[in-house]
Chain A
Amino acid sequence: MTTHRFGTTRRQVLLAGAGLAGTLGMPGLVRAQAAAVKVGVLQPLTGALAQDGQAGQLGAELAIKAINAAGGIKSLGGAKIEAVMGDARSTPEGGTAEVERLAAENVSAIVGGFASPICLAATQAASRYDLPYIVDVGVNDQIVSRGLKNTFRFAPGSSMVSGQALDNLVKLNDAAGKPMKTVVLVHEDGLFGSGLAKLLQAELPKRGFEVIDTIAHPTPARDMSNVALQIKAKNPDLVIPSSYYGEFVLLARTMQQQRVKPKGIYAVLNGAASNYRFVKEFPEAAQFVIDTNHWYDPRNATAIALKKEVEAQGKFFLYNVALNYSAMLLLADAIERAGSADRAKIIAALETSTFGGHIMPYGPTKFVNGQNTGAAAVNTQVQNGDIKVIFPEAFSDAKAVFPVPA
């Protein structure tokens, strides 16, 4: 008796085990009703730009989680979106290599890139496979001026941002009774900083500002004392810095040490002034710094909830998170309308996109030659340990402090 009972039990156990193994081994069978749509998420996850890349990846992942939780792509029978991660290793070559790999893994589209050089190379590589590519951040104007049919940029480019920066500066200054007349430009000496400085040098005088000095510095810089001393000697009303994170933080701290207190610091596409780490680590040096940059819509309920979720993970809600979150939603909307994971059909759907369900302070999406003309930068200002949107008013959640109280 005992032996018999034991035998039966063992057989049952084996059967159950075989069944379980079968389920685990062939998950495709379980959710066979709709094949997942593969999407490439390309970011510089290692190397110099990893901080931004990891934030971008987080945004894309959160968006995919939200899309899948809401039932996936309905026109494809509820197909889930499946991310294939790519690490651009902070170099254009790394980006290109990963695009080749993602294309071989049969992704339907790629989102990301972050830095302009990576975006330039990666979009070009993707164009050889007619692979739709949504650029998340890369602001260089060339990205959308090469006539690549597969390339779409959701965020504003550098000429859009700097144009807005100038217009908004004039408006802020006029509203305050024109306290700012003289300007010193501080910029890093690479493609990004020099290009911007050249543009500002040409445009600021036309708008009634006098550029009294332009100071270039290298990246990385070990010391900003000379720059601070020169600003002190020139005593401008306004300082406009265009540097990467480490150097701007060094400059802001050195200016504070040297008691250099202009009436305002107005940055354009600055690495630090809209970064919570800087605000948290140096609340005093960061206080009242204004930036013109990408930023989420602080009045958008989804954005507010997302910010809470990200901060609950102990991470900063950088603009990369919001931009990649929105770009992934934009792509999902295009796949939904295309009703297909086919690359050409997704490109056609992106071209006619009027997507408005993003969390950015933009209007409806409208691509002209690959650039979203509905995109816009905003002015943020560090106020009492937080980053607030001060301009334009339609999206602002605080009033500008301009000029800075002495």
Chain B
Amino acid sequence: MFSPEIVTAAVLNGLLTGAVYALVSVALTLVYGVLHIINFAHGATLTAAMFAAYVAWQAGIDPLVAVIGLAPLFFVLGYAVQRWIIGPASHGEDRNILLVTLGLSIVIENVLLATFRSDTRSIDVPYGFSSVDLGFVFLPMPRVIAFGITCVVALLLWILLARTDAGKAIRAVAKDKLGAALVGIDVPHVYAVTFGLGAACLAVAACVLLPSYFVNPRVGNAYVLVAFTVVVLGGMGSVPGAVIGGLFIGIVESLSGLYFGESLGQLGIFLIFILVLLVRPTGLFGARA
């Protein structure tokens, strides 16, 4: 039906798209794993980060350079939002957190709409149209870079969680909030740090996404639905699960787009979503809850 070159190219392209899914999903799964909340403001945060990168670019800073400043900035913002808005507003009830994050997403999207209006904007970076020539396929340079950065971020995150005290505290809180508090871990602080890490991941995703995609005040939502699927596939709260799940979903989407038509490209994703829920509700790397 399709020549092997096209199929291989589609797999590689899917892998590159999947890298961005992985990054967005890691942020979502991290917050879920520790705070046990679904962050409905996830898409809006991604959009906000993309606009931040866009503003930086307008000021003459390449997104790949801007990421150095934006990731810490979004960490601080995420920390502050969890510590002083979501935390206090939730009064310890998970339901409240859902509503607060939903409300936040509405506020963020509309502030962006009021500030930037709803124009769809893109940027033209010098490397935007260069590509890596593999002989049978051209891999667009911005997405190859995105793939590389995703791998680095995933590795850093893994080191942080597995090898540092902060990581240990995060894992402890994720396992047992009360127990962690009893041994002296500042639980609200850990919550906020985790939320900040999630926001920082989104900032990185935004910076690698912008050179090859476009931004408008609703753009983040296109990625969030996929991210939910990836998180369920990889196992709620599992960082390696989100990375592998993201890459896998990218390939599935690309191939099903090729074979069933682009309109039904999403079909593959949601078939997998349903299958996972039926056969292995904990996901590939899910905790044996």
Point out residues on A near B: beta carbons under 8 Å: 46-51, 54, 189, 215-218, 220-223, 225-227, 229-230, 233, 245-246, 249-250, 253-254, 256-259, 277, 281-282, 284-285
The answer to whether A226 and B17 have CB atoms under 8 Å apart is no
Name 17 A/B residue pairs within 8 A (Cβ), A-sorted: A50-B117, A50-B118, A215-B261, A215-B262, A216-B261, A216-B263, A217-B263, A223-B13, A223-B254, A223-B257, A226-B262, A229-B137, A230-B6, A233-B2, A253-B129, A277-B120, A281-B121
Bound-state CA distance A254–B143 (Å) is 11
Bound-state CA distance A49–B217 (Å) is 11
The answer to whether B10 and A51 have CB atoms under 8 Å apart is no
What are the 5 closest A-B residue pairs judged by CB atoms, nearest first? A50-B118, A217-B262, A225-B13, A189-B263, A257-B140
Point out residues on B near A: beta carbons under 8 Å: 2-3, 6, 9-10, 13, 17, 113, 117-124, 128-129, 131, 137-138, 140, 212-214, 216, 218-219, 222-223, 226, 253-254, 257-258, 261-263, 265-266
The answer to whether A51 and B122 have CB atoms under 8 Å apart is no
Residues of A close to B129: CB separation below 8 A: 253, 256-257, 284-285
Interface SS of chain B: helix, strand, loop or mixed?
A: mixed
Residues of A close to B10: CB separation below 8 A: 225-226, 229
Residues of A close to B218: CB separation below 8 A: 48
Bound-state CA distance A365–B129 (Å) is 46
Bound-state CA distance A51–B218 (Å) is 13
B137 smallest CB distance to A (angstroms) = 8
- Nearest CB in chain A to that of B261: its residue: A216
The answer to whether A51 and B119 have CB atoms under 8 Å apart is yes
Residues of B close to A217: CB separation below 8 A: 262-263
Instruction: Identify the interface centre among A229, A233, A258, A285: most chain B CB within 10 Å of its CB.
Output: A229
The answer to whether A233 and B3 have CB atoms under 8 Å apart is yes
The answer to whether A250 and B214 have CB atoms under 8 Å apart is yes
Residues of A close to B138: CB separation below 8 A: 257-259
The answer to whether B213 and A233 have CB atoms under 8 Å apart is no
Bound-state CA distance A218–B265 (Å) is 9
The answer to whether A220 and B222 have CB atoms under 8 Å apart is yes
A249 is contacted by which of B13, B214, B263 (Cβ under 8 Å)? B214
Bound-state CA distance A122–B131 (Å) is 48
- Nearest CB in chain A to that of B216: its residue: A246
